[in-house]
Structure 1
Amino acid sequence: MTIDKSWIREHRTSPKFFEGLKNFMEIARKHVDSEDKVHCPCVKCVNMYRRLLSTVYAHIYDRGFLKSYTIWIYHGEKHFVSDLGYNSTPINIPTSNEMFDVIDDVMAEQNTNEENTDDEGRELLRVAFPKSKIPTSHYKAKKKLRKIGLGYESIHACKYDCALFWKENDSMQNCTICNESIWVDTTTKGTRVPQKVLRYFPLTPRLRRMYSSRFTAKDMFWQNTGRSTNGMMYHPVDGKSWQEFDKRYPEFAKEPRNVRLGLAVDHFNPFGNFNNNYSIWPVILTTYNTPPWICMKESSFMLTLLILGPRSPAKDIDVYLRPLVDELKMLWVEGVQMRDAYTNTVFNMCAMLLWNINDFPACSSLFGWSGQGYLACPTCNEDTSSIYVTNKMSYVGHRRFLNINHSWRESLLFDGYLRQDRVLEDSNVNESVLNTALMNDKSKDKKEARIDLKNMGIRPDQWPKEKVKKMKKHNKEENKKKETLPHASYSFKPIDRQHFCQFIKGVTLPDGFG
């Protein structure tokens, strides 16, 4: 029976499209899975996601039907192919956009044996793409990926993060510092399991691939031609740090194809709350040669190191950064010969690291500077101005950054001294100030803060006050003491909070800034 599919090219509001959609839903109803879901062929899902029938109906009605989906292989239609040597068995030939979903379906039906699963997947690819040269084994597939620069290097590490078994320590069987064995079990015969393994993805092959394509090579030249001309900053190339670097190293800046990199590192637990005894530290680089709409895309991020282990390396992370640091030094001092596919020329490419992008705890681990205690500021170092207040550290002395004639510099209300200031120690100052003004649950103006003012001998009008209240209990009068906090001039009263919230509610902001 021939199915009429001409309706998929009609407008969604036409009666023919509506009638064809109802017929399609009747067909789809017969091919739902155990969860009553079926592949959604709308123009956005493109059969990559399974949805409930009601959702599929709504998607197709609102978005339209995928016009390239002319053979309904996910909804019961068979396609017979006679030139692949499988004349007696109908097979489904998916489009390239649907290949990932087909592989997922096939893998889900196989057992958990990795080799058998790989064999089934490769067989499926060979049938689907008969003219392609699919590797015959998992090992050959990895080998081919490594040849084009998509592989990684496994480097064994000491159990206690002392050193890497790499370069001069490559042949070592025990750590030169703690004498711990490289292997989990030294008595195992055959393949032995290492204590820890660092995955290192070399940077140079990736940069070479970027210059091997005339499209990406053109983007790598953008920082030289796309600079701002109106004084506004749209890209790091328009910033002072970039320009100061160019003045300090004119030889590097002379070649616009030299690469500027940014490094980001942080850790996370892949098991969430289910397992606290595991840590992953990805080290990621991105290139700032490309336009702003490319350099910050996820596809432009380059994973260079993957540090795995039962615990965080913390201050010993420098041990694992050594392969990347050595390669960056080589790219800075010597460079590598690179072919530019856009201009069809060969040049010596150098690279440098512009800056790091980290939160404060990760920055402390990366630089080996403690992010806690009296000397936590990595900029001020030993000149950090700090005091210990109730149950926490407070970083003070910031009035010295005010104008020399500012009245606050001569005020004794802050900590009893001249030309000093006390500031909030919270990293998000704006949020802390707002919460304190609103006097909500996240306010910094709590009882402990008022006690700190009393201990420092400043602002006596804000000290906690004892209020005595007479109460009758069992026909006897008792005095009950209650400690209250005087209302601060910097916080809102209830009517003020109401007016402020009404004002914020009426503010209209651009999309994405709310």
Structure 2
Amino acid sequence: MHGEDSNVTMPKISKNTRVKKDTLQPQNLMETMINDACGFTGNNVNDTDMSSESINRNEIFNEEHIERHNEDYAKFYEMIEDGKQPLYEGCTKYSKLSVLIKLYHIKCLCRMTNKAMSVILDLLKDAFEDVKIPVSFYEAKKTINKLGLNYTKIHACPNDCILYFGEDNEGLQECKKCKTSRWKDNKKKQPAKILRYFPLKRRLQRLFMCSKTVESIRWHSLEGNQDGLMRHPRDSQAWKTFGLLHPEFATDPRNVRLVLASDGFNPFGAMSTNYRKQMPGNDIDVYLQPLIQELRELWYDGVQTLDSSKNEIFKMRAALMWTISDFPGLDIMHIEKNVCENVIYTLLNDSGKSKDNSKARKDLREMGIRKELWEDENGNYCPSLFTILNTKKNGFMKNVFLRTLKNVKMPDGYASNKMY
């Protein structure tokens, strides 16, 4: 905890100092949704002015882009128009797109059928004549699909033995290991189990559709490390060693380094849902096969990708560098939660919950080390180097940190409530 540079001079703070809860402005959720899905940043979908700072049609549809990626850009522009279109004349709270996404979210949470959603949409259209929503779920889904969050359905053995995937298994009618039928209803050809896989390549390609996002992707090679401290994975020994071992990969800063996190993964919906006996367990590798295939292709072959910042096509490659896995028999989830909370409270110098407190400073005195961090006769002490202050000199970093934490978006059930 106290590994900071001992030569740094910091202003003293009182042990009674408390973290001020800053007022943070909420972001436009539909803007964030479109930006996250399409890789565009800093553009308000509700702005009527689509020029200069925001994306404009001339920027999107230049001749070269039309030839190479016309379909993706056309869908994005249509989605921007849906996001700008108010739900009804004079409505400022909801757009056509925001209502459809919220309704789709409710459908997923409540496990409603497509027919039920169509009935609701038809009722809303009939009750409110001026409302700008489709009359059926089929039409609504065509709009939502422009977000590019489609998935591929892959049939699976109900006992988690195999996926009906790839040349060897795709045409099988029963599991080659347990001999269980592929079908729940053989006459109607209803599969017994389905994996819904979200392809990786298209999502990585979308990151390069906006020049501003590309700048963020290349940041690790453009911004030097001035003080030698590790603030980003690029500062780690693993990153540097990988670059030395694979110089052809490291040469192009647009190549992507990935981390695979499966810790806390629940295949059955929200985290409050009880685990079932049919959960994959040790057979989780079966369900990783489509991802592994894509990772192999991204590493060995790459994928042709449009870099909008340079207006050129390049071969994007990706490498899996880290994994975060679950450990059976350990309460890792709660351990991680406690560690994360302690780290955040310490960074924010919360007087009641920070681990860098008066007791810790007295321990340093008893051990006879780090004199510059000891309390003075009034019980005051210098803040540690890692303490996030909120001063004009440091650019109000506490505000920036809290705003970033507030705006983190997680899937339902993936994380607990964030601290403010």
TM-score w.r.t. the length of structure 2 is: 0.51
1:354 aligns with 2:351: no
1:229–1:165 CA distance, 2 compared to 1 (3 A): same
Are 1:231 and 2:228 matched, yes or no?
yes
Match of 1:312 in 2: 279
- Once the two structures are TM-superposed, the CA of residue 185 in structure 1 deviates from its matched residue by 3.6
Q: 2:181 maps to what in 1?
A: 181
Counterpart mapping for 1:438-453 below 5 A: none
Aligned residues: 260
Structure 2: which amino acid aligns with 1:173? Answer: Q
What residue in structure 1 maps to residue 161 of structure 2?
A: 162
Question: For residue 92 of structure 2, what is the amino acid of its counterpart?
Answer: T
> 2:153 is aligned with what amino acid?
S
- Map of 2:120 onto structure 1: 117
Cα distance, 1:213 vs structure 2: 1.4
Q: Which residue number in structure 2 is paired with residue 254 of structure 1?
A: 251
Residue 92 of structure 1 deviates from its aligned partner by 6.5
| Aligned-partner Cα distance in 2 for 1:107–1:360 | 31
- Structure 2: how far apart are the matches of 1:125 and 1:178? 55
Task: After TM superposition, list the pairs within 5 Å mapping 1:232-311 onto structure 2.
Answer: 232-266=229-263, 267-268=265-266, 270=269, 276-278=274-276, 311=278
Q: What's the CA shift for 1:97?
A: 5.2
Give the 3 Å change call, closer, same or farther, for CA 105–251 of structure 1 in structure 2.
Answer: closer
**Secondary structure of 2:155 counterpart:** strand
CA deviation vs aligned residue, 1:435-487 (integer Å, no higher than 9, x gap): xxxxxxxxxxxxxxxxxxxxxxxxxxxxxxxxxxxxxxxxxxxxxxxxxxxxx
Q: Deviation digits for residues 84-140 of structure 1, max 9, x if unmatched? A: xxxxxxx774215577579969999xx9822212445678999455xxxx7664335
Q: CA deviation at 1:253?
A: 0.9
Q: Single out whichever of 201-210 and 163-172 deviates more from structure 2.
A: 163-172
Q: Is the 8 A contact 1:210 1:217 kept in 2?
A: yes
Whichever of the two has the greater Rg, that structure is 1
Match of 2:315, SS?
Answer: strand
Which residue is equivalent to 1:342?
309
CA deviation after TM superposition for structure 1 residue 338, in Å: 1.0
Residue pair 1:260, 1:353 contacting (<8 A) in 2 also: yes
Distance 1:106 1:330 in 2: 33
Partners of 2:118 and 2:135 within 8 A in 1: no
Code of the aligned partner of 2:301? E
For residue 81 of structure 2, what is the aligned residue in structure 1? Answer: none
> Secondary structure, in 3 states, of the residue corresponding to 2:208?
helix
Q: Distance in 2 between matches of 1:261 and 1:45?
A: 29
Q: Which residue of structure 2 lines up, in the alignment, with residue 368 of structure 1?
A: none
Q: Which amino acid aligns with 2:119?
A: N
Structure 2 counterpart of 1:490 = none
Structure 1 vs Structure 2: percent identity of aligned residues?
A: 37
**How far apart, CA to CA, are the structure 1 residues paired with 2:155 and 2:324?**
27
Would the alpha carbon gap of residues 358 and 251 (structure 1) be closer, same or farther in structure 2, given more than 3 Å must change?
same
Paired amino acid for 2:225:
S
Partner in structure 2 of residue 35 of structure 1: none
Matched, 1:205 2:167: no
Tell me which amino acid in the other structure corresponds to 2:285: D
AA partner of residue 330 (structure 1)? E
Partner Cα distance (1:246, 1:103) in 2 = 41
One-letter amino acid of the structure 2 residue matched with residue 163 of structure 1? I
The separation in 1 between residues aligned to 2:197 and 2:104, in whole angstroms, is 32
Q: Is the 8 A contact 1:145 1:151 kept in 2?
A: no
Residues 155 and 165, structure 1, Cα contact 8 Å, conserved in 2? yes
| 3-state SS, counterpart of residue 160 of structure 1 | coil
In the other structure, the counterpart of 2:69 is none
Q: Secondary structure at the match of 1:348?
A: strand
1:237, 1:345 → 2: CA distance? Answer: 26
Q: How many Å apart are 1:231 and its aligned residue?
A: 1.1
How far does the alpha carbon of each residue in 1:466-514 deviate from its partner, in whole angstroms, 9 at most, with x for none? xxxxxxxxxxxxxxxxxxxxxxxxxxxxxxxxx969969x898757999
| CA distance in 1: counterparts of 2:280 and 2:262, whole angstroms | 12
Gaps of 5+ in 2: 1-22, 30-87, 107-111, 340-357, 364-378, 389-397, 402-418
Cα distance in 1 between the residues matched to 2:231 and 2:124: 45
The aligned counterpart of 1:151 is 150
Residues 125, 131 of structure 2: 8 Å contact kept: no
Q: Distance in 1 between matches of 2:295 and 2:218?
A: 20
Deviation at 1:251, TM superposition (A): 0.7
Partner of 2:274: helix, strand, or coil?
coil
Secondary structure, aligned partner of 1:219: helix
Q: Indicate the SS of the match to 1:360.
A: coil
Q: What CA distance in whole angstroms lies between the structure 1 residues aligned with 2:258 and 2:104?
A: 41
Matching of residues 344-493 of structure 1 within 5 Å: 344-361=311-328
- In the alignment, which residue of structure 2 is the partner of 1:437? none
| C-alpha deviation, 1:224, in angstroms | 1.1
**Counterpart Cα distance in 2 of 1:145 and 1:313:** 30
Q: Would the alpha carbon gap of residues 139 and 250 (structure 1) be closer, same or farther in structure 2, given more than 3 Å must change?
A: same
Secondary structure at 1:94's aligned position in 2? coil
Q: How does 1:497-508 map to 2 (within 5 A)?
A: none
For the Cα contact (< 8 Å) 2:161–2:177, is it kept in 1?
A: yes
SS of equivalent residue, structure 1 residue 353: strand
* Partner Cα separation in structure 2 for residue 181 and residue 128 of structure 1: 47
Task: Look up the SS of the partner of 1:199 in the other structure.
Answer: strand
Q: Distance in 2 between matches of 1:105 and 1:328?
A: 34
Residue type matched to 1:334 in 2? D
Q: CA RMSD in A?
A: 4.6
> Counterparts of 2:309 and 2:102 in 1: how far apart (Å)?
38
Rounded to whole Å, the distance in 2 between the matches of 1:249 and 1:228 is 21
SS in 2 for 1:211: coil
Find the aligned partners of 2:319 and 2:259 in 1 and give their Cα distance. Answer: 9
TM-aligned CA deviation for residue 163 of structure 1: 0.3
Deviations 1:276-298 (A, max 9, x none): 343xxxxxxxxxxxxxxxxxxxx
CA deviation map 1:47-101 (0-9, x unaligned): x9xxxxxxxxxxxxxxxxxxxxxxxxxxxxxxxxxxxxxxxxxx77421557757
Q: 1:145 to 1:209 in 2, by over 3 A?
A: farther
Matched residue type, 1:257: R
Distance 1:246 1:106 in 2: 43
| CA distance in structure 1 between the aligned counterparts of 2:303 and 2:311, rounded to whole angstroms | 16
Find the aligned partners of 1:226 and 1:125 in 2 and give their Cα distance.
Answer: 53
